[in-house]
Amino acid sequence: MKKYIALLLMVMVFAVCLLTGCGGGDTLTLNVYNWGEYISDGSEGSFDTIKEFELWYEETYGTPVKVNYTTFASNEDMYSKLSSGAVSYDVVIPSDYMIARMAAEDMLLPLNFENIPNYEYIDEDFKSLYYDKEGKYTVPYAYGIIGVIYNANEVDAQDTGSWELLWNEKYKDKILQFNNSRDAFGMAMYKKGLDVNSEDPAVWDAAYEELLAQRPLVYSLVMDEIYNMMESGEAAIGAYYAGDYFTMKDAQAENVDLKFYYPERTNFYVDAMCIPTCCENKELAEIFINFMLEKEPAIANAEYTYYASPNRLVYEDEAYIEEMGEEAMNVLYQHAGNFAAQYEQNAYHNLKPETLDYINTLWETLKIN
Amino acid sequence: MKWSSKLYTTLIFIFLFAPIVILLVFSFNEAKSLSVFSGFSFRWYEELFSDEATLESLKNSLILALSATVISTVMGTVAALGIYRLRKKWYRALLNTVTNIPMINPDIITGISMMLLFVFVGRMFSASTSLNFWTMLIAHVTFCLPYVIFQVLPKLNQMDGDLMEAAQDLGCTPFRAFFKVTLPEILPGIITGAIMAFTLSLDDFVISYFTSGNDFQTLPIRIYGMTKKTVTPKMYALATIIFFVTLALLLLNNLVDNDDSRKLREKKKKSKAELLEE
């Protein structure tokens, strides 16, 4: 009987080894940590970025590589996983303010741009933004702008054009607001012309008053629920990222006609690839970043995410322009050429912990009201 | 049944199953929307089976759940046998309470403390990555274990304690007596425990989230990652499939249970009849 048990144990260990692939030998591994649904993954016949990289690398360098691609849902999730020291990643793709924080905390390695020749295709506008002034740590992946989405069948065209639409009493219970303190306060602050990176509590109080006035008109606080509510016509007005508007428009119901505009001031953000200090194979990580800037993967990713790309190979490509269509090109790339100036004025910076605490207290109070 | 209790039952069933029905219906939607139904199609099922990352995480979830089930079932059964044999009552009660801690403890606390432990041990060996498949497996076994013990222990208590001794009197080694007598008696409990362990492990997000490393992502973690953008109907298709698999497992479980209680009833009847005859 003991023999059987020993045999059973052996079989189990063997099966687990086989399935998890332990003892791979010469295979290199690359650990990539990115936002969910933020890379072209081969669905609907598109380009399978990770698989293509593995194939290309083995063909070019003769060594097999295994990419462990995992995803996170927010910058804060990513930060806590990385700073716990529990896991090592080679490439991460967070947003600007989180990059600034990680750089300040010495969590990033300077890149060796000799391994990233494709960096030349990145528009100059994106090369020395506040979060990485010297352009040492990051290679931008995608950028976006928050705008207002509305259902033209329910909203008069004359009411649109500014943030006022989200405070318009005519559309009581048709308005959606971000369920995220920074973006909700940001909206009120852009509307009032306040500084979104202020460390002065009085400024945040003023924004709070504004949100309090809006509160009775708001139908719901949403993040990704906005897709369903706008597509079905359940709500008529909401603010979200420009690229996602096209995803919603693709799926709108028959009696819904979604339209989009940028208010006078709004949030600009950039997500960029960088290498954290826990990286174990920096050269491989840089080769991966370089691969992401190649024409084919870069275009595939931009088409998949519907976000604007800072890569000239993408936005100057005729096939890409045609695929996206005129409206999408106009909306997504409206600020091309003077992005840096707009960005410096309007992007979120990382705030002091005391300020963040203060905002959260205001936010919780607001939600109870 | 009074009409009010009928209404109550109906309401409960509606609340339980309406979301699942909606999920099922929209998994066959033609468009990408989760709110507007534009036509019937198998598009998302096709999409699902060509999405390698999702299938990979499904495979990971299944490997993890199966390994955790096998290990926790074996360990749990052995532990239950040990607890059953204990003579001292207070010691038994103490052990029972301790084994139940992972069941009562909120997941988030189990998850964080597990992560801290693994990081601490990893640092001792100066590993760059201290979380991986094995840490997740340990965490899953930990929280599945009490459920197995919980299912096996009552079966042991139901069993006639003299049976084992009788078998040994008739020449069985203790080992053999266990496999010939005890195991068949407690098998329904073991199976129920294993099924519970499997579903709990497959379902778990919080503990997995804290103990997962960079090379092994389970399905719930992957779906959570999608919430920044939008969860596609692909996931509805997958959830529909998983729902039916789980339903099949539960039905199986109930069949085993019913069979078991029927046998028990027959046995009682028989012994009663024998007693009456005497």
Q: Domain residues of chain B, as ranges?
A: 53-277
Q: What is the pLDDT of residues A98-131, one digit of tens each?
A: 999 999 999 999 999 999 999 999 999 999 999 9
Q: Please report the number of interchain residue pairs, chain A to chain B, with beta-carbon separation below 8 angstroms.
A: 133
Q: Do A73 and B228 touch (CB under 8 A)?
A: yes
Contacts of residue A85 in chain B, CB cutoff 8 Å?
119, 123
* Residue of B230, B232, B235 to mutate, interface with A, max A Cβ within 10 Å: B230
b/e map of A38-53 (b: 16 or more CB within 10 Å)?
bbbbbbeeebbbbebb
Separation CA A171–CA A238 (nearest Å): 11
Model pTM score: 0.87
For A251, B24, B29, B96, the CA distances from B48, given in Å and listed in that order, are 19, 15, 13, 44
Closest CA of chain A from B146, distance in Å: 22
- Positions in chain A short of pLDDT 70: 1-25
Contacts of residue A41 in chain B, CB cutoff 8 Å?
51-53
Q: Do B225 and A73 touch (CB under 8 A)?
A: yes
Closest by Cα among B102, B275, B56 to B200: B102
Domains and CATH numbers, chain A: 25-143+270-346 (3.40.190.10), 144-268+350-368 (3.40.190.10)
pLDDT given at position A12: 58
Nearest residue in B to A73, CA atom: B225
Nearest residue in B to A41, CA atom: B51
Pick from A71, A247, A252: CB nearest B230: A247
pLDDT given at position A22: 47
Separation CA A186–CA A195 (nearest Å): 9
Q: Do B229 and A38 touch (CB under 8 A)?
A: yes
Pairing of strands A91-92, A28-35: parallel
Nearest residue in B to A67, CA atom: B215
pLDDT given at position A24: 47
Has domain B53-277 been given CATH number 1.10.300.10?
no
Regarding an ipTM greater than 0.90, the answer is no
Closest CA of chain A from B131, distance in Å: 6
Give residue A183's identity as a one-letter amino acid code: D
Torsion of CA A283, A289, A293, A296, to 10 degrees: 90
| Contact criterion met (CB below 8 Å) for B185 and B119 | no
Pick from B34, B36, B228: CB nearest A74: B228
Pick from A68, A85, A232: CB nearest B119: A85
Closest CA of chain A from B179, distance in Å: 10
Secondary structure element (H or E) that encloses residue A177, with its range: strand A175-178
Coil vs helix vs strand at A165: helix
Q: Do A20 and B216 touch (CB under 8 A)?
A: yes
Q: Do A278 and B228 touch (CB under 8 A)?
A: no
Pick from B52, B215, B226: CB nearest A68: B215
Helix, strand, coil tally for chain A in percent (to 5): 50, 20, 30
Pick from A48, A228, A244: CB nearest B35: A228
Contacts of residue A252 in chain B, CB cutoff 8 Å?
33, 36
Q: What is the pLDDT of residues A300-324, one digit of tens each?
A: 999 999 999 999 999 999 999 999 9
- Positions in chain B short of pLDDT 50: none
Chain-centre distance of CA B251, in angstroms? Answer: 14
Q: Do B47 and A51 touch (CB under 8 A)?
A: no
Closest by Cα among A319, A318, A159, A190 to A263: A190
* Residue of B138, B214, B223 to mutate, interface with A, max A Cβ within 10 Å: B214
Contacts of residue B123 in chain A, CB cutoff 8 Å?
85
Torsion of CA B220, A19, B194, A8, to 10 degrees: -170
Pick from B34, B118, B229: CB nearest A86: B118
Tokens matching residue A6? 């020993």
Pick from A70, A89, A224: CB nearest B217: A70
b/e map of B64-81 (b: 16 or more CB within 10 Å)?
bbbbbbbbbbbebbebbb
Q: Do A20 and B52 touch (CB under 8 A)?
A: no
Secondary structure element (H or E) that encloses residue A183, with its range: helix A181-192
Separation CA A185–CA A1 (nearest Å): 68
Separation CA A61–CA A80 (nearest Å): 34
